């Protein structure tokens, strides 16, 4: 099942995919979805970021088997970095090089604290595509990652949330201006998604709509203003965002 | 002028203090406040966290003059850690010692990026009291502060936002169970608030309602479940929160 947040005349609305249109629903976190009756044809729908999270965490050093030698660790991105499909990633070239990272992003359905790995799937609504944009030249200056990870438009999410997905074996392809720049699979991550969530819920509570960017399995690529990034996870779709030079204006999700 | 978020029969509502009652307003970020006509007597008003931020940053190593020898640095707390007056700080004693830190918390009015120190005041709505709860025994395990700073109820804010305040000379008193445990003043911080904001807006955009915890000028104290914390900044008021053992339930702001 595919869920989205769509721009409507009444404001952003959650919706479920039915054939060639989006059926607007009351709340994507309901156990049984309640349709409002409003339908929007696919071609007319403008998709927003599929969730407005209060927590956005990304996994550090989770890119391959070597990374299992130390405990999992996460960094925070602010909710304000979240943007939807088509929204710009704004980079300040004065702050050095920037990478995009194509990742599977987990969206929580329930409050989740102190979960065993076995309890994790029931707490999760589904997965979307996340782009964990990273100002890599700031890393040596800020191990806390605040100035590394929080630029405008630095967390594109979308286009949809897929509720039925093989999290631990999802291929990820990254293209810059239509040319393949990197590819990998969540099978290449150091820690499984259930292990990551179990670890993090020792320390904090995720809630409905919150997001975990699960790590970059060799799916990073450098970008510059003027380029377009597309990240494809076949079960979910393709997330596309332009890269622009920072204008000073604020991003909206 | 004092602003608050109040629990009403219609849900949370912003309000401005007028004499012995709160006058409900349309939006505390309006340039000219628009009153709805609804008034709630002080004694009947239940105050919530005065803002629901998308960004909550705290200042690292900002406690005294020595800290000016290295650049300012911030860590992220999630929006989900924010709670209001009276809500519990839930600590997991299995994760070691916990400190509370009484701080002046700045609330932004406008989008703010690349501001000079002189431009900072115009971007700020006012100040509230922040309690930057910190699981100090996790610091050596996690320099990114994710597992240090993001427990349930780890960012009490309130009781109100004061729009007319001397940010850089505000006394802060911390009491545990009614006994003074620490005291300081924002005059003791390494970097002024305008300097902090100017630095951080090189890297990211704050928006309306976002919060910066400006650092702990010797205003930290250890706490245990069963205790009550009260933090007083005379121009703003007193923020009180009980400390409880983690129940596994989620916090609400």
Contacts of A103 (CB under 8 A, 6+ apart): A58, A129, A130, A131, A132, A172, A213, A214, A215, A216, A219
pLDDT at B250: 42
Taking the alpha carbons of A164, A167, A170, A174 in that order, is the dihedral positive or negative? positive
Rounded Cα gap, residues B204 and A148, in angstroms: 9
pLDDT at B208: 98
Average pLDDT, chain A: 95
Beta-carbon pairs below 8 A across chains A and B:
134
Token pair listed for B43? 């004694």
Q: Do A168 and A5 meet the contact criterion of CB atoms below 8 Å apart?
A: no
Domains along the sequence of chain A with CATH: 2-47 (2.30.30.370), 49-245 (3.90.850.10)
Rounded Cα gap, residues A15 and A40, in angstroms: 9
pLDDT at B185: 97
Reduced to 3 states (helix: H, G, I; strand: E, B; else coil), residue A217 is: coil
14-53 of B, contacting A, C-beta below 8 A: none
166-205 of B, contacting A, C-beta below 8 A: 200, 202-205
Question: Taking 70 as the threshold, does the pLDDT of residue A249 lie above it?
Answer: no
B6 touches chain A (CB under 8 A): no
Per-residue pLDDT tens, chain B, 253 aa: give them.
999 999 998 899 999 999 999 999 999 999 999 999 999 999 999 999 999 999 999 999 998 888 999 999 999 999 999 999 999 999 999 999 999 999 999 999 999 999 999 999 999 999 999 999 999 999 999 999 999 999 999 999 999 999 999 999 999 999 999 999 999 999 999 999 999 999 999 999 999 999 999 999 999 999 999 999 999 999 999 999 999 999 754 443 4
Helix (H) or strand (E) holding B122: helix B120-123
Rounded Cα gap, residues A232 and A62, in angstroms: 20
A147 → chain B, closest CA residue: B203
Rounded Cα gap, residues A181 and A231, in angstroms: 10
Parallel/antiparallel/unpaired status of strands B98-108 and A155-162: unpaired
Q: Which of A15, A137, A128, A24 is nearest to A82 (CA)?
A: A128
pLDDT band at A63 (very low <50, low <70, confident <90, very high): confident
Reduced to 3 states (helix: H, G, I; strand: E, B; else coil), residue A60 is: coil
Nearest residue, CB atoms, B78 vs list A54, A111, A145: A54
Q: What is the DSSP letter of B112?
A: B
Question: Taking 70 as the threshold, does the pLDDT of residue A248 lie above it?
Answer: no
pLDDT band at A253 (very low <50, low <70, confident <90, very high): very low
The average pLDDT across A128-152 equals 97
Q: How far is CA B32 from CA A176, B16, B29, B94, B208, in A?
A: 46, 12, 8, 49, 15
Chain A: give the shortest CA distance to residue B19, in Å: 35
Q: Which of B52, B80, B94 is the best residue to mutate to test the A interface, defined by the most A CB atoms within 10 Å of its own CB?
A: B80
């Amino acid at each position: 099942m595919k869920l989205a947040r769509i721009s409507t005349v009444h404001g952003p609305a959650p919706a479920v995919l039915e054939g060639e249109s989006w059926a607007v629903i009351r709340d994507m976190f309901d156990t049984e979805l309640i349709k409002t009756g409003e339908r929007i044809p696919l071609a007319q729908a403008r998709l927003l970021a599929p969730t407005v999270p209060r927590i956005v965490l990304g996994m550090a050093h989770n890119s391959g088997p070597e990374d299992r030698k130390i405990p999992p660790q996460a960094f925070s991105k602010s909710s304000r970095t979240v943007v939807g499909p088509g929204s710009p990633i704004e980079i300040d070239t004065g702050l050095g090089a920037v990478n995009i990272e194509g990742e599977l992003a987990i969206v929580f359905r329930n409050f989740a604290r102190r979960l065993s790995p076995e309890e994790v799937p029931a707490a999760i609504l589904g997965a979307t595509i996340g782009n964990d944009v990273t100002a890599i030249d700031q890393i040596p200056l800020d191990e806390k990652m605040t100035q590394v990870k929080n630029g405008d438009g630095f967390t594109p999410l979308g286009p949809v949330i897929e509720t039925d997905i093989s999290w631990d074996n999802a291929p990820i392809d990254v293209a810059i201006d239509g040319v393949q720049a990197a590819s990998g699979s969540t099978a290449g991550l150091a820690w499984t998604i259930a292990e990551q969530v179990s670890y993090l819920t020792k320390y904090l509570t995720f809630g409905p709509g919150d997001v975990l960017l699960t790590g970059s399995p060799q799916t990073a690529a450098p970008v510059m203003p003027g380029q377009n990034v597309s990240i494809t996870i076949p079960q979910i779709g393709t997330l596309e965002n332009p890269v622009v030079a920072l204008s000073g204006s604020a991003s909206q999700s």
